[in-house]
Amino acid sequence: MILVTGANGQLGQCFQQLATDFPQMKFLFAASSDLDIGDRAAVKRFFAQHSIQCCINCAAYTAVDKAESEPVQAKRINVSGVKNLASACAALHIPLVHFSTDYVYHSHQNLPFREEDAVSPKGVYARTKLQGERAAQKAHPSGTMIIRTSWVYSIFGQNFVKTMLRLGAERPGLSVVFDQIGTPTYAPDLAEAVLGIVDRTMRGDLNQEALAGIWHYSNEGVTSWYDFAQAIFEIRQLPCKVQPIESKAYPTPAQRPPFSVLNKAKIKTQLGIAIPHWRESLVRCLNMLDR
């Protein structure tokens, strides 16, 4: 049984949608109402009640700006919750797949970040995500696979693509920052890659210990939020004009990394994962939204 926590979140819903493509695997989807990962006793009980072979943790506090005024809540989910899951997995000697963020990198480097590069998180969200990584690795060092990803979007939940489509249909023009550089990640691409890895692990084709540690996954290519918005309107043929602005013209409670492009060489070479270009995946997402 593959446990997917945070099942009603954006990424969790993508796993639910893809489950039928992996009929050889049995899934247990747990929303926050089914399992509060911040409650250690509840996590222990849940794992005792179900025959779990692997846990994919999609539960996270992801409200980046709100976290600045809710540090206790962010830490409860992003740190304590992750530690609780890692401890439960360690007790059963089963793998944990946990998702982290490009926000752990906040420097003015201009080369794509590798997994071993120095981290420098700024803000509550970024710091709690890094603390969660470390708590999981300490609790379950041989069985925790941490995947840092960036700019996640899909047909589910609230995300940049859906916001741009809504505003682009309502307004003649928008201002979008051009000095934050990274790569969008289409959540179904990430979920499919992870399910492929888990399937190979369950079949014994991949060693659980070999998956332990930090990995990067985002779509291929590099862009800015401004160019990403331009691409959305161009593909959708929306007449909304996009004006590039600097981040200082659009202040937010939490600072965003100026450059957070992820180097994916490790996951591609060691695990043979093929990654689509961000624009190709954006077209697929927009086609899904049109249906």
Nearest to 190 by CA among 3, 13, 24: 13
DSSP label at 277?
Answer: B
Q: Residue 2 forms beta bridges with which residues?
A: 27, 54
The whole-angstrom separation of Cα 216 and Cα 280 is: 19
Contacts of residue 287, Cβ cutoff 8 Å, sequence gap at least 6: none
For residue 125, indicate whether it is catalytic. Answer: yes
The whole-angstrom separation of Cα 269 and Cα 192 is: 17
Give the active site residue among 125, 153, 186, 226.
125
**Which amino acid appears at position 278 of this protein?**
W
Neighbours of 93 (CB within 10 A): 10
Contacts of residue 247, Cβ cutoff 8 Å, sequence gap at least 6: 177, 179, 180, 256, 258
**Which amino acid appears at position 105 of this protein?**
Y
Q: Do 30 and 2 contact (CB within 8 A), yes or no?
A: no
**Which amino acid appears at position 229 of this protein?**
A
Q: Which residues are catalytic?
A: 125
